[in-house]
């Protein structure tokens, strides 16, 4: 059986000191985020997970990007006030830092929040045209991804809004970002994708990531189709603080194998773990790693 890696989706919980946030806000000073990134990364490494992210501690996954793109300003939500354009590296510095922290036997995931999700999470005061805005986000993200791929082992595009329905130009948006990539590319869509399985299987990526633990009906949905992509099997819930036991996770992985056979290439939580208590997130990852070792050696 081929090597199956344990991995994360994106965000990881850390305890950010309020005083520090307030200080940074009132002084308009850039506070040093390194210690938060380090504590998230140390947890992921300590759990035994093989593919690690920066934990997205700096900002929620939309703001990380819109804070640094031209044409966006952050109020309660991101507002689009001008043409969206790339304005220089967004996540590269953090990724280089994470690389310096992790042992050589671990791999690094570059995270990109997808153009359709950025579009749907923003208040558009400029374009008044969803498609045009989504394409400008995609072109800007492409520039980030081109630099990012030199520093990471895989790029994961996070498009939860695709679960509400993929627009007819959805595949093209992803293609803009992933075209001419040298590193593997994963598409993560949480939520219910049972109605859009054929479109998802047709996406220009190598690995598909979905919340198979929280939505076991997805296994039945995928069963109807020929699986042409590698699968990142969501195997512990991200929306529920109950820590799944190792044997429960093993049972779930075996259900996944019944549907996907050797197309499973990664085991992960269903989604980012930001909303979980930190010790719960850590225990879930540890049990995921143990279950993965039991099943795949």
Would you give the DSSP letter of residue 71? E
187/271 with CB nearer Zn ion: 271
- CB 223 → Zn ion: shortest distance, Å? 22
- Among 82-90, 188-196, 240-248, 277-285, which window interacts with Zn ion (CB under 5 A)? 188-196
Nearer to Zn ion, 11 or 101 (CB): 11
Site for Zn ion in 107-136 (CB under 5 A): none
**Residue 245 neighbours by CB distance under 10 Å:** 12
Report which DSSP code applies to 7.
Answer: B
DSSP state of 108: E
Decide: 7 and 267 in contact? Cβ < 8 Å. yes
Please report the sign of the dihedral spanned by the C-alpha atoms of residue 95, residue 100, residue 101, residue 107: positive
Report in angstroms how near the CB of residue 190 gets to Zn ion at its nearest. Answer: 3
- In order of 150, 152, 222, the CA distances from 91 in angstroms are 12, 11, 33
CB of 113 to Zn ion, least distance (A): 10
Residue 43 has which token pair?
């947890």
CA distance 56 to 36: 10
Query: What residues numbered 253-282 form the site for Zn ion, per CB under 5 A?
Result: 271
Q: How many residues bind Zn ion (CB under 5 A)?
A: 2
Query: Interacting stretch for Zn ion, rule CB under 5 A, among 58-66, 164-172, 189-197, 251-259?
Result: 189-197
Q: Pick between residue 141 and residue 193 the one whose CB is nearest to Zn ion.
A: 193
Taking the complex as a whole, the smallest distance from the CB of residue 254 to Zn ion amounts, in Å, to: 23
Torsion on CA atoms 143, 117, 41, 242, rounded to nearest 10: -160
39, two tokens: 């504590």
DSSP-H helix ranges across 151-277: 170-178, 197-201, 217-223, 246-260
CB-nearer residue toward Zn ion: 71 or 272? 272
148 is a site residue for Zn ion (CB under 5 A): no
The 11-40 contact track toward Zn ion, x by CB under 5 A, reads ------------------------------
* Among 37, 40, 118, 190, contact with Zn ion (rule: CB under 5 A): 190
Residue ranges in contact with Zn ion by CB under 5 A: 190, 271
């Amino acid at each position: 059986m081929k090597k199956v890696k344990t991995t994360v989706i994106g965000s990881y919980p850390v305890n950010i000191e309020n005083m520090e946030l307030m200080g940074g806000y009132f002084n308009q000073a850039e506070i040093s985020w390194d210690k938060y990134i380090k504590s998230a990364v140390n947890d992921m490494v300590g759990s035994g997970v093989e593919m690690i992210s920066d934990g997205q501690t700096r900002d929620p996954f939309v703001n990380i990007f819109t804070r640094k793109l031209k044409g966006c300003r952050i109020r309660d939500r991101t507002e689009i006030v001008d043409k969206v354009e790339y304005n220089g590296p967004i996540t590269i510095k953090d990724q280089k830092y994470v690389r310096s922290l992790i042992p050589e036997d671990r791999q690094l995931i570059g995270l990109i929040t997808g153009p359709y999700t950025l579009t749907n999470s923003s208040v558009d005061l400029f374009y008044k045209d969803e498609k045009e805005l989504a394409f400008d986000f995609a072109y800007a993200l492409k520039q980030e991804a081109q630099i990012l791929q030199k520093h990471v082992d895989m790029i994961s595009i996070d498009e939860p809004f695709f679960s509400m329905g993929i627009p007819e130009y959805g595949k093209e948006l992803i293609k803009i970002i992933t075209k001419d990539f040298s590193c593997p590319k994963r598409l993560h869509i949480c939520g219910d994708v049972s109605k859009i399985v054929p479109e998802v299987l047709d996406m220009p990526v190598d690995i598909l990531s979905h919340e198979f633990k929280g939505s076991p009906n997805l296994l039945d949905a995928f069963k109807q189709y020929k699986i042409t992509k590698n699968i990142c099997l969501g195997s512990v819930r991200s929306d529920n603080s109950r820590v799944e036991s190792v044997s429960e996770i093993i049972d779930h992985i075996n259900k996944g194998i019944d549907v996907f056979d050797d197309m499973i290439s990664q085991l992960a939580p269903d989604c980012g773990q930001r909303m979980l208590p930190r010790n719960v997130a850590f225990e879930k990852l540890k049990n995921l790693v143990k279950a993965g070792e039991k099943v795949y050696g």
